[in-house]
Amino acid sequence: MSAVSLSGKQLAAAIRAEVAEAVAEPVKLAVVLASTDEASAWYVRTISTAAAKAGIDCELVDTKPDADEIAATLHRLSADPTVHGVILQSPLPPGLPPAQQLAGAIDPAKDVDGANPLSLGRLASGQPAFAPATAAAVLALLDHHQVELAGRHAVVVGRSTVVGKPVAHLLLDRNATVTVCHSRTKDLAAITSQADVLVVAAGRAGLITGRHVSPGTTVIDVGTNPTEDGRLTGDVDAASVVPAAAGLSPVPGGVGPVTTAVLLRHTLSAACASIGP
């Protein structure tokens, strides 16, 4: 057997088109950038280009790498009625508090990347909240490829507040039976090989190989690891997993493009909620 490729490109294009079609009033997303690293700059350019194509104004707000200044900027943007979505780009430069702590300054109604701890708390307690865009993208990709979740065993590798934990909550909400693994998990392969659906977000290139999956497993690879020759590779060793699993999302071209599209969809939702029915 050979795993079906669970591409995100078609889904991302459909979401972007749906957002572009629905934008009627001015919609603005503000991206706060406190670091100068090239990967962040590249990601912010990607968001900005996708937003422009969908008719969403994307304002880049550079701040000094200073906790007070970042918090003040997030408060100011949260209070600005012309701004509908606010993102704090991470990783932050060394020496600053964790991004989740600073993101507490983002109004949850504008927290389109689900970074404020209140958003995760609401998500965990079943209240309306924006999930982190990557976590929502994982679910959107599974739905797009019609992967059944209710009653199935979903294993999540990674427990970050950005990906692993919110994905686990979203899968639970969809009635999957969820196991979360992390760096202290003993015998990872013994657990992942029991998965019907395996979501990998560890940031370790090639962590998951053929021996970690079973013939019926659908694998979503969230990992994005830079290679020495300037490409991106996932957490899954595709060469050994493709012959062993039922489906695998590629890197690049899987979760990544859907994440950007979901951010735009969240921004539109935030704008619609602020404008009212």
Tell me which residues touch ligand NAP (CB under 6 A): 134, 157-160, 162-164, 181-185, 188, 201-204, 207, 222-225, 255-256, 259
Least distance to ligand NAP, CB of residue 63, Å: 21
Which residue number, 49 or 183, has a Cβ lying nearer to ligand NAP?
183
Do residues 196 and 246 touch, judged by C-beta distance below 8 A?
no
Element (H, E) at 68: helix 67-79
Do residues 101 and 161 touch, judged by C-beta distance below 8 A?
no
Which residue number, 85 or 223, has a Cβ lying nearer to ligand NAP?
223
Least distance to ligand NAP, CB of residue 187, Å: 11
Least distance to ligand NAP, CB of residue 269, Å: 19
Distance between CA atoms of residues 159 and 183, nearest Å: 9
Least distance to ligand NAP, CB of residue 91, Å: 9
Distance between CA atoms of residues 97 and 79, nearest Å: 23
Phi, psi of 13 (to 5 degrees): -65, -40
Nearest to 245 by CA among 176, 178, 192, 170: 192
Least distance to ligand NAP, CB of residue 229, Å: 17
Distance between CA atoms of residues 270 and 116, nearest Å: 15
Exposed (0-12), middle (13-18) or buried (19+): which is 92, by Cβ within 10 Å?
buried
Which residue number, 188 or 270, has a Cβ lying nearer to ligand NAP?
188
DSSP letter, residue 108: G
Which residue number, 76 or 204, has a Cβ lying nearer to ligand NAP?
204
Which residue number, 82 or 101, has a Cβ lying nearer to ligand NAP?
101
Give the max Cα distance, the chain.
55
Least distance to ligand NAP, CB of residue 244, Å: 19
Radius of gyration over every alpha carbon of the chain, rounded to an integer in angstroms: 18
Which residue number, 67 or 232, has a Cβ lying nearer to ligand NAP?
232
